[in-house]
Amino acid sequence: MTNTPPLPADGSSTLRPSPSVVARATDVVRVFGSGDTAVRAVAGITASFRRGEMTAIVGPSGSGKSTMMHLLAGLDTPSSGTIELDGQLIARLSDDHLAALRHERMGFVFQSFNLLPGLTALENIRLPESLGARQRSRDDVWERELIARLDIGRVLHRRPHELSGGQQQRIAIARALAHRPAVVFADEPTGNLDLATGDVVLRLLSELVVDSGCGVILVTHDPRAASRADRVLALRDGRVVAELGRANATDISALMLADAHDHSDASLRTP
Ligand SMILES: Nc1ncnc2c1ncn2[C@@H]1O[C@H](COP(=O)(O)OP(=O)(O)OP(=O)(O)O)[C@@H](O)[C@H]1O
Ligand SMILES: [Mg+2]
């Protein structure tokens, strides 16, 4: 395991304080390739994501959801525009500082769970804290609460292949939240789960977001999953074409269908 230096303490890359915003994209563009074959996967997005809030990013295949998430998490670099994460302007950070920011301030939940097969469930949960630059003392009280609320106490000694999909995703959620990140990125977290299990997983995630005060950015094409979010951003062709507050799955489906037929989105926008 590499030891990364701590994040800069001199505030050199820290922007003006905005305590509730955990991630902000400003005029972000990401172009893949060049010339005739260039693809504008993200074509000018400005959006903020706040603490204690789950934002769903929805949109058809190829609309730029995953590209946007990778940019926000500092896993990819915009062609132009800026990304600010937890008060740090990502472009100003060295690779080591960015890695430290990722380990200490971000959590990830993936469609394919991404647990390390050789580790037990508990070892997987404790992995991010062991990767952090600062050897922070573990928050045992928070860890116990996560384990209880996710109902995984009886499977902590098992390895991933001995767990159901729903159990693996609950372990992954515990792993994403145990080190108290500022923001959790979830890319199709229910994609490999049946409807009922997916619902439970998202309900737990949304409740824990509120209680831990982190922000969650949920990428999904599933209106039912998006209905668990506090806010929905609809993408098309790399742009935000509509924004909704908390909405039910029917309204989100209607939004996605209307969006597919009509690019003039003003009537869909809610304050
Ligand atoms: N590394 C890459 N090189 C070239 N083009 C890319 C690359 N990554 C993504 N794209 C293109 O950018 C566009 C947006 O892709 P992206 O993966 O962000 O879509 P998405 O909304 O996540 O789709 P899905 O729902 O299918 O996962 C697509 O046209 C895709 O082909
Ligand atoms: Mg995708």
100 in any annotated domain = yes
* Owning domain of residue 194: 50-66+94-269
In a domain? residue 15: no
Please tell me the predicted confidence (pLDDT) of residue 266.
44
155-187 residue pLDDT tens: 999 999 999 999 999 999 999 999 889 999 999
Alpha-carbon torsion 150, 155, 158, 160, what sign?
A: negative
**Tokens encoding 57:** 């990013």
The CA 127 to ligand 2 mean position distance, Å, reads 25
- Using the CB atoms, write b or e for 96-124: b if 16+ within 10 Å: ebbbbbbbbbbbbbbbebebeeeebbbbb
pLDDT of residue 192: 87
The CATH number of the domain where 164 resides is what? 3.40.50.300
- Residue 146 within a domain: yes
31 lines ligand 1 (CB under 6 A): no
Quick check: is 17 in a domain? no
Mean pLDDT of 51-60: 94
Whether residue 72 is contained in a domain is answered as no
Does pLDDT of 69 surpass 60? yes
Q: Cα(270)–Cα(5) distance, rounded to whole angstroms?
A: 43
Q: Answer whether residue 166 is part of any domain.
A: yes
pLDDT, residue 269, reads 45
The answer to whether position 30 is within a domain reads no
Q: What is the count of structural domains for the chain?
A: 1
Q: Is the CB of 175 under 6 A from ligand 1?
A: no
Ligand 2 centroid, distance to 188 Cα (angstroms): 8
Q: What are phi and psi of 44, to 5 degrees?
A: 110, 80
Name the residue of 32, 71, 235 to mutate for ligand 1: max ligand atoms within 8 A of Cβ: 32
Model pLDDT, residue 103: 86
Does the residue 11 lie in any domain?
Answer: no
Q: How far is the CA of 66 from the centre of ligand 1 (A)?
A: 7
What are the beta bridge partners of residue 236?
239
User: Confidence class of residue 144 from pLDDT cuts 50, 70 and 90?
Assistant: very high
Instruction: Say if residue 9's pLDDT is above 50.
Output: no
72/190 Cα distance (integer angstroms)? 21
